[in-house]
Structure 1
Amino acid sequence: MLSQAKLVELDEAAPLARAGQALTHAYFPTDCLISLLTHRVQPRCFEVGQLGYEGVLGAGSALGVSACAFDAVVIGAGRAWQIDLQRLRALCQASRTLSLLMTRFLYFELSQMGALAACAHFHSLEQRLARFLLMSLDRLRVPDLRMTHEALSLILGVRRASVTLAAGEFQQRGWIQYSRGHMLVLNRAGLLSTVCACYGQDLSTYEQVMQDVDWVKPPRTRR
Structure 2
Amino acid sequence: MIEFLDFPEDGILTLGSDAGARAACLTALVGREGFIGWSALMNARLSPYHIRAGREGASVLRMEINPMLQRMEDRPSLRASLLRYVHAVMIQMTATIVSSKTDPIERRLARLILMHHDRASGDHICATHQDLADMLVVRRASITDALHVMEGDQLIASTRNRVVMRNRPGLCLVAGDTYGVAEEHYGRCVASLFGL
TM beyond 0.5? yes
Question: Which of these two proteins has the greater Rg computed from alpha carbons?
Answer: 1
Please, what TM-score do these two structures have when normalized by structure 2?
Answer: 0.90
Q: Deviations over 1:18-66 (max 9, x none)?
A: xxxx222211112211111111433223111111111110122144220
Q: Is the 8 A contact 1:175 1:190 kept in 2?
A: yes
Kindly report the root-mean-square deviation, in angstroms, between the aligned alpha carbons of the 2 structures.
1.8
Task: Show the 5 A alignment for 1:203-222.
Answer: 203-210=183-190
2:29 paired residue number? 50
**Identity of paired residues, percent?**
22
Among residues 146, 163, 173, which one is paired with 1:193 in the alignment? 173
The structure with the greater share of residues assigned to helix is: 2
2:150 paired residue number? 170
1:146 and 2:123 equivalent? no
Task: Show the 5 A alignment for 1:92-131.
Answer: 92-131=72-111
1:23 and 2:23 equivalent? no
Q: Is the 8 A contact 1:33 1:50 kept in 2?
A: yes
2:18 paired residue number? 39
After the TM superposition, list the runs of 4 or more consecutive aligned residues in structure 1 that deviate by more than 3 angstroms: none
Q: How many residues align?
A: 192
* Structure 2: runs of 5+ lacking an equivalent: none
How far, CA to CA, are the matches of 1:100 and 1:185 in structure 2?
A: 35
How far, CA to CA, are the matches of 2:169 and 2:187 in structure 1?
A: 21
Q: Give, as a single letter, the amino acid of the residue that structure 2 aligns with 1:194.
A: V
Give the superposition deviation at 1:162: 0.8
Q: Give, as a single letter, the amino acid of the residue that structure 1 aligns with 2:25.
A: F
How far, CA to CA, are the matches of 1:153 and 1:40 in structure 2?
A: 16
3-state DSSP class of the match of 1:195?
A: helix
Q: Is the 8 A contact 1:28 1:53 kept in 2?
A: yes
Q: Give, as a single letter, the amino acid of the residue that structure 2 aligns with 1:177.
A: A
Q: Give, as a single letter, the amino acid of the residue that structure 2 aligns with 1:88.
A: M
How far, CA to CA, are the matches of 1:25 and 1:174 in structure 2?
A: 42
1:156 and 2:136 equivalent? yes
Q: Give, as a single letter, the amino acid of the residue that structure 1 aligns with 2:30.
A: L
Please, what TM-score do these two structures have when normalized by structure 1?
Answer: 0.80
1:85 paired residue number? 65
* Structure 1: runs of 5+ lacking an equivalent: 1-21, 214-223
How far, CA to CA, are the matches of 2:131 and 2:83 in structure 1?
A: 30
Give the superposition deviation at 1:78: 2.9
Q: Deviations over 1:145-184 (max 9, x none)?
A: 1101111111111111111111111122222122231111
How far, CA to CA, are the matches of 1:205 and 1:180 in structure 2?
A: 34
3-state DSSP class of the match of 2:2?
A: coil
1:18 paired residue number? none
Q: Give, as a single letter, the amino acid of the residue that structure 2 aligns with 1:81.
A: L
Give the superposition deviation at 1:211: 5.2
Q: Give, as a single letter, the amino acid of the residue that structure 1 aligns with 2:2.
A: L
